[in-house]
Homo-oligomer: A and B are copies of this chain.
Amino acid sequence: MPGVAARKNQERKRENAMEQPAADDYAKERYGVLPLIQSQDKPDRVLVRVKDLTGEKADEVVWVRGRVHTSRAKGKQCFLVLRQQQFNVQALVAVGDHASKQMVKFAAKESPQQKPISQDDQSPWNELILLPSPCFHGINKESIVDIEGVVRKVPHKIGGCTQQDVELHVQRIYVISLAEPRLPLQLDDAIRPEVDGEEEGRATVNQDTRLDNRVIDLRTCTSQAVFRLQSGICQLFRETLIQKGFVEIQTPKIISAASEGGANVFTVSYFKSNAYLAQSPQLYKQMCICADFDKVFCIGPVFRAEDSNTHRHLTEFVGLDIEMAFNYHYHEVVDEIADTMVQIFKGLQERFQTEIQTVSKQFPCEPFKFLEPTLRLEFPEALAMLREAGVEMGDEDDLSTPSEKLLGRLVKEKYDTDFYILDKYPLAVRPFYTMPDPKNPKTSNSYDMFMRGEEILSGAQRVHDPQLLTERAMHHGIDLEKIKAYIDSFRFGAPPHAGGGIGLERVTMLYLGLSNVRQTSMFPRDPKRLTP
């Protein structure tokens, strides 16, 4: 009879909460801890969103649900900051007609400054809340409450809140879900900009603490903004491509053989045999092109068993993948991909300005710049720029990460753009399926795209002729038996095609000028982290 047990628990909670209120508390029905919401009723009550609490609602009585971000008692008053996602509003419980002294005390969190819970601590949950205890210590921060209040205009703007023109004068306050009293991290610390040296003693939160307690870290206005913007990137990517006539495909992640050779692949136990996790959807995108889908895209996880512990590598990330048949020249595809990126950048500027501003308060950064049409440099031009800047490189060398970054700065200086295409990479540094340049045997029809000097996309015209593909694979020393299915895909008529894969977390990181891809992966996976 778990429903009953739960109700009993809830009643016990309530009794504890009600212990302080004396019989003579004239407000005793106006506050408390409510029973667990198990869908007992369908009350006819509208909950107003915090962001909609503006001067237009002045003097209206409203119900609002939010988290207690802070509470501060001051004589016969208690000031709460009520938070809902990126928005917050001040609420005032003051002794008067609606609120009693006991009600103000209930709203105030009276325990002293909370310490973060260390991992060895016993969870205080049971003692404090669920088992009978001598007193209720007030509403812990991060608890969820329902408040009935009157919207009142304030004479001076309220600095700490997004809703600066009004406050809520509380008439009723009920706890919907009580947080444990000690938080593993403080939200105010988690949104504090890191300032070198200065303002020591003002706490910030390190990355592992954030990631270990991601549910709380994701509640900060910065995290809310980052991931809402990321959702927007996916939406703009798809909107643009669907408008261009692309079809969305779903490609399998469990594969029977590692098509690109076999290094850096995770192995899966598959019933009585073994399988692998796909390092990219490329083979399947290409099969769809050979199957006449003409222009395809997919969004999905990509797995890399690389033991790389850098600011920009994850073992699982989200790939935004494109593949497209073209008529005569792979630049038809390059242009479509570049335009898709431009549409994303424009859409973010137009629809996510609030989120961009929010993030920049914690992580200040120059606005992202781009050109239209996108700047396309050829590899030799980049080489010349780097050499002029003192970098020593051979004609067929790949760019190192520092060279990429330097090149980004040089391009920014010269062309004033944070986004550009680098075309015509040396054939020697690209995978076997890359189409050689017909006019220069050392060059290939391949390209990378960069944001703020870091690679976000790698792509190429693919070899669509089985004979040439075989030759190229042999040249790379690849076991033909392992890629037979791949090569066979092109035997029954294949259109010329090109494509590329974009790393979603990198695009989010670089657009916002953040410094670590773990900030833009909700639940990042790297060689050392598999949780939460």
| Inter-chain contacts of A3 with B (CB < 8 A) | 436-441
Q: List which A37-51 residues lie within 8 A (CB) of chain B.
A: 37-43, 45, 47
Q: CB-defined interface of A290-325 with B at 8 Å, one 1/0 digit per residue?
A: 111110000111010101000000011010000000
A9-B467 contact, Cβ under 8 Å, with A2-B475, A38-B436: yes
| Inter-chain contacts of A290 with B (CB < 8 A) | 215
Q: Is A115 an interface residue (CB 8 A)?
A: no
- Within the complex, the shortest CB–CB distance from A351 to chain B, in Å, comes to 11
Task: Please tell me which stretch of A227-235, A358-366, A394-402, A449-457 contacts chain B, meaning at least 4 of its Cβ atoms lie within 8 angstroms of it.
Answer: A227-235
Task: Out of B123, B267, B270, name the residue touching A269 (CB < 8 Å).
Answer: B267
A501 to B183, CA, bound (A): 31
Q: List which A195-248 residues lie within 8 A (CB) of chain B.
A: 214-219, 223-224, 227-228, 230-231, 234-235, 238, 242, 247-248
Q: Is the CB of A438 within 8 A of B7?
A: yes
Q: Is the CB of A491 within 8 A of B125?
A: yes
Task: Out of B144, B254, B293, B532, name the residue touching A493 (CB < 8 Å).
Answer: B144
- Within the complex, the shortest CB–CB distance from A391 to chain B, in Å, comes to 28
- Within the complex, the shortest CB–CB distance from A286 to chain B, in Å, comes to 9
A1 to B441, CA, bound (A): 5
Q: CB-defined interface of A101-130 with B at 8 Å, one 1/0 digit per residue?
A: 000000000000000000000010100001
Q: CB-defined interface of A470-492 with B at 8 Å, one 1/0 digit per residue?
A: 01100100000000010001011
Of all A-B residue pairs in the complex, the 10 with the closest CB atoms, nearest first, are: A218-B291, A38-B438, A3-B436, A256-B530, A179-B493, A37-B496, A231-B248, A1-B441, A39-B329, A179-B492
Chain A residues within CB distance 8 Å of chain B: 1-7, 9, 36-43, 45, 47, 65, 67, 84-85, 123, 125, 130, 142-144, 176-180, 183, 214-219, 223-224, 227-228, 230-231, 234-235, 238, 242, 247-256, 266-271, 275, 277, 284, 287-288, 290-294, 299-301, 303, 305, 307, 315-316, 318, 327-331, 427, 435-441, 445, 461, 464-468, 471-472, 475, 485, 489, 491-496, 504, 521-523, 525, 527, 530-532
